[in-house]
């Protein structure tokens, strides 16, 4: 996983609320057996609308997405995170996220930043451009801040473990496997206390 320390650049001024993962990536894209190439399907339905931000050349390749409340609700498909990652998005900022989506995003090295609605509204303005052309947004994970060139400064909360993993680009499975002994210990206790946990063998 790539390290994520600071992210600088334009942001898609999206802002739509209750965007479910079917909107992020429609079901027919779930047929892939690989993680790559899903950016083409990201927001496919919305992209059929003329003038949508995702096909606006001004925002092509933007590393930040500014979304609305309850972003990523609905299906648990991780393809939503892969699709955003494949689009080049490294940070999603919204007033709230579905639990599953923010977990999936994190596991794929995408930072989800929760900010109050008024802060998100302000960032939407900046992303659209204070003077007509889109202005960049700066996200600093170490200091947990989102800043703009207009003196805006918003701080956000993040789980310390997630922060540690994102900053170091650490692979979660490898970290857990390093704790093989503790898991062995749990399994030994379980075998004593709840031996029936192993499913009956089926002929």
Partner 1 sequence: MVKPRTLYEKIWDAHVVERRPDGTCLIYIDRHLVHEVTSPQAFEGLRLAGRKVRRPDLTLAVPDHNLPTTPRRDADGKRISIADPESAQQLAALERNAPEFGVRLIGDADLEQGIVHVVGPEQGFTLPGTTLVCGDSHTSSHGALGALAFGIGTSEVEHVLATQTLLLKQSKTMAVVVDGVLAPGVTPKDVALAICGTIGTAGGTGYVMEYCGSVFRDMSIEGRLTVANMSIEAGARSGLFAPDEKTFAYIKGRPMAPKGADFDAAVAWWKTLVTDEGAVFDKTVVIDAADIVPNVTWGTSPEDVVAVTGVVPDPQSFADPSKQAAAQKSLDYMGLTAGQKMADVAIEHVFIGSCTNSRIEDLRAAASLLKGRHIAAGIKHAMVVPGSGLVKQQAESEGLDRIFLDAGFEWREPGCSACLGMNPDKVPAGERCASTSNRNFMGRQGPGSRTHLVSPEMAAAAAITGRLTDVRELLNNEEGVVA
Binding interface with partner 1 (CB under 8 A): 17-18, 20, 22-23, 26-28, 30-35, 45, 68-70, 73-78, 81, 96, 98-100, 103-104, 107-108, 159-161, 172-174, 176-177, 179, 182-183, 185-187, 190, 194-200, 202
Strand order in the sheet with 153-155: 6-9, 137-140, 145-148, 153-155
- Closer to partner 1 by CB, 15 or 134: give it: 15
- Closer to partner 1 by CB, 8 or 187: give it: 187
Q: How far is the CB of 135 from partner 1 (least distance, A)?
A: 24
Q: How far is the CB of 199 from partner 1 (least distance, A)?
A: 4
- Closer to partner 1 by CB, 131 or 192: give it: 192
Q: What angle do the packed helices 99-107 and 160-168 form, to 10 degrees?
A: 30
Q: How far is the CB of 98 from partner 1 (least distance, A)?
A: 6
- Closer to partner 1 by CB, 20 or 140: give it: 20
Sign of the CA dihedral with 43 first, then 46, 50, and 56 last: negative
Give the H or E element holding residue 154: strand 153-155
- Closer to partner 1 by CB, 33 or 57: give it: 33
Strands 91-94 and 111-114: parallel
Q: How far is the CB of 153 from partner 1 (least distance, A)?
A: 25
Q: How far is the CB of 68 from partner 1 (least distance, A)?
A: 7
> To 10 degrees, the CA torsion angle through 113, 119, 125, 131?
-110
Q: Where are the alpha helices (DSSP H) in the chain?
A: 21-24, 79-87, 99-107, 117-128, 160-168, 172-177, 180-193
């Amino acid at each position: 996983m790539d390290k994520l320390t600071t992210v600088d650049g334009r942001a898609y001024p999206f802002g739509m609320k209750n965007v479910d993962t079917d909107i992020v990536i429609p079901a027919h894209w779930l047929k892939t057996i690989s993680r790559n190439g899903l950016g083409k399907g990201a927001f496919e339905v919305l992209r059929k609308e003329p003038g949508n931000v995702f096909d606006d050349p001004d925002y092509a390749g933007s590393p930040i997405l500014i979304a609305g409340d309850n972003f990523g609700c609905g299906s648990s498909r991780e393809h939503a995170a892969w699709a955003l990652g494949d689009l080049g998005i490294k940070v999603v900022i919204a007033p709230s996220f579905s639990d599953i989506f923010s977990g999936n995003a994190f596991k794929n090295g995408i930072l989800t930043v929760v900010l109050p609605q008024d802060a998100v509204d302000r960032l939407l303005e900046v992303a659209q451009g204070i003077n007509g052309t889109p202005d960049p947004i700066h996200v600093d994970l170490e200091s947990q801040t989102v800043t703009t060139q207009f003196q805006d400064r918003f701080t956000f909360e993040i789980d310390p473990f997630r922060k540690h993993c994102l900053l170091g680009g650490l692979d979660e499975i490898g970290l857990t496997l390093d704790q093989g002994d503790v898991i062995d210990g749990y399994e030994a206790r379980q075998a004593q206390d709840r031996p029936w946990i192993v499913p009956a063998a089926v002929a």
